[in-house]
Amino acid sequence: MLDSYGRKIEYMRVSITDRCNLRCRYCIPDGIAKVPMSAILTYEEITEICRAAVSLGISRFKITGGEPFARLGCTDLIRSIKSIEGTEEVTVTTNGQILHEYLDELKDIGIDGINISLDTLDPERYTYITGGGRLENTLRAIELSVDSGIRTKINCLIQRGFNEDEILDMADLAFRYGIDVRFIELMPIGAGDMSKGVPGAEILEVLKDKYPDLMPDTSRHGNGPAVYYKRSGSDGAIGFISAIHGKFCSSCNRIRLTSQGLLKPCLYYENGIDLKPLLAEGEDAVREAMEKAISSKPKEHHFGRQDETEGRSEHRLMSQIGG
Could you please report the per-residue DSSP string of 20-45? Answer: -S---TTT-TT--PPPPGGGSPPHHH
Identify which of residues 243 and 286 has a Cβ nearer to ligand SAM in the complex: 243
Q: What are phi and psi of 227, to 5 degrees?
A: -105, 130
Identify which of residues 46 and 186 has a Cβ nearer to ligand SAM in the complex: 186
Q: How far is the CB of 255 from ligand SAM (least distance, A)?
A: 16
Identify which of residues 211 and 303 has a Cβ nearer to ligand SAM in the complex: 303
Output the residue with the shortest Cβ distance to ligand SAM.
192
- Residues near ligand SAM (CB under 6 A) are 20, 26-27, 64-65, 67, 93-95, 117, 155, 157, 184, 186-187, 189-190, 192, 318-319, 322-323
Identify which of residues 157 and 279 has a Cβ nearer to ligand SAM in the complex: 157
51, 98 contact by CB (below 8 A): no
Identify which of residues 64 and 80 has a Cβ nearer to ligand SAM in the complex: 64
Report d(CA 317, CA 323) in Å as an integer. 9
Q: How far is the CB of 156 from ligand SAM (least distance, A)?
A: 8
Identify which of residues 17 and 55 has a Cβ nearer to ligand SAM in the complex: 17
For residue 15, list its beta bridge partners: 64
Helix (H), strand (E) at residue 136: helix 135-147
**Phi-psi category of residue 13: left, alpha or beta, with phi > 0 → left and psi -120 to 50 → alpha:** beta
Q: How far is the CB of 225 from ligand SAM (least distance, A)?
A: 13
Nearest to 223 by CA among 317, 87, 20, 41: 87
The rounded Cα 317 to chain-centroid distance in angstroms is: 14
Report d(CA 230, CA 60) in Å as an integer. 25
Give the other-Cβ count within 10 Å of 31's Cβ.
12
Q: How far is the CB of 26 from ligand SAM (least distance, A)?
A: 5
Q: How far is the CB of 81 from ligand SAM (least distance, A)?
A: 16
Nearest to 142 by CA among 109, 105, 170: 170
Q: How far is the CB of 118 from ligand SAM (least distance, A)?
A: 9
Identify which of residues 87 and 93 has a Cβ nearer to ligand SAM in the complex: 93
Could you please report the per-residue DSSP string of 182-226? Answer: EEE---SSGGGGGS-B--HHHHHHHHHHH-TT-EEE-S--SSS--
Nearest to 187 by CA among 126, 242, 107: 242
Identify which of residues 32 and 184 has a Cβ nearer to ligand SAM in the complex: 184
Q: How far is the CB of 9 from ligand SAM (least distance, A)?
A: 20
Q: How far is the CB of 235 from ligand SAM (least distance, A)?
A: 22
